[in-house]
Structure 1
């Protein structure tokens, strides 16, 4: 059940930490299909309900402990969201026995008559430090105010995605293979984009009646997280393959998956986004047409008097290597 739940959540949220009866998901950033944390969290709950037939209670907050408490007070098929700045007020009436700290600290809090988190949060970190030690006292204070900063530790999820296409009757025509590969990129790139993932490595296998007739792997110039980015990388790899017989199937596999960290480029604003767009465009051009396609100027040490000698042209970036294999 735990592995099945992890698989369902990973179809919606790229970073998931699984426990025995609860799971933490990182909803930072933006999702193309689910605007806002509440909608994203509801989509994760629907994935569990549809895939496993369970009705989870969901809590959304800026820290692990607050999100956990929000899920506890929520009801199945509902999302309880604690907005930024409302953490301390939300936690205040809850009993101190819910704090994720050592049992000895909980017993001491009871002895002192500190029976709810609001009372604990009203104390200073110094007061709590004198009772429990500096680090433990500070941790108790942060938990009580909803200010703990423990990150989500992602569970190990399947790190590869595969898309396969069958070519009826076999083919050796490059144009047909190209169209087949492009459709595979469209579907697989769509899955990457929906899950908020980027691929750091890809492999392409051309299959024949008796087994592979050509195969290759490569590292794309930039992590591929969309159909267009994946197709740009696959196109260069496909051109390097030399199948030894008719191709009856095509299998595209992406690996080294990670959470997509890029952002949508704003074309009409100067700054980092503009540089990111230029860097990705340069990488795609060089990958398809060669290293010398895009060059940049470099100031010369001794320019002399003629303006055209003041700089020299050099390739903008090195081209990534491609590993190709086949069976003969």
Structure 2
């Protein structure tokens, strides 16, 4: 006889698949003992730069029961964003995750529906949905749930699909069957370390966030430091270099989420077009995009810096 736990687990995984998630793994909601010293060391070395929010809620980042009282399970899901078409070669570059509608909106809607379906099928379940907007160590949970391993670039990597996907979680006060971590398959490869133009990957598995091109172009609100001049490789929002060179990403397949498709105009814009971009064009192309985080002033700051 199949247990309730097994039935509930199978139902949740089937619903996640129906909603378009490429995979779903579940782990026990408990204190992340291995992550605690790593996170503490990373923060002590100021690898978070001006991202001071990373210093907040240290306990909540490591203990899901502080986010959802009575939490028993962390459900991790991956959603593919690898685009079918890319920007033209003669262009300042956007990270591929920012081509379409802001993923926070897209994924939050899917998670709300999943939580609704869980309550309808299983009964009253207390839980919260997370998409990289709360103190949750999503890569650690995804790895613990067997969805991939944290690679030398500190991205979550998956054998079948690489790393061009978003990670999301549901933390529930529901007992479920748990998955197991997979082994690391980076081997002796150092492609990501060798390719990073700002040398932000200090050593395998250690990234200095304050040297990352994504940090300079998105998180940093001050002027980009002069020492970054000439190292930004034409990236005006985010950076995909460590993912583009990763051998596992040769298995990436195009997503099938219409909301992640870009405005056609975006793919055709050249460097010259970007240099002449107006607030009006910015608002039109990035209407519901994650690029709005950096605002028109932030994007033009980045473009001006790339022309130095």
Task: Verify same fold: TM over 0.5.
Answer: no
Query: Greater strand percent: which structure?
Result: 1
Which structure is larger by alpha-carbon Rg, 1 or 2? 1
> What TM bracket, shorter-length normalisation?
under 0.3
Q: Name the TM-score, length of structure 1 as normaliser.
A: 0.23
Higher relative contact order (CA 8 A, sep 6+): 2
Q: Name the TM-score, length of structure 2 as normaliser.
A: 0.24
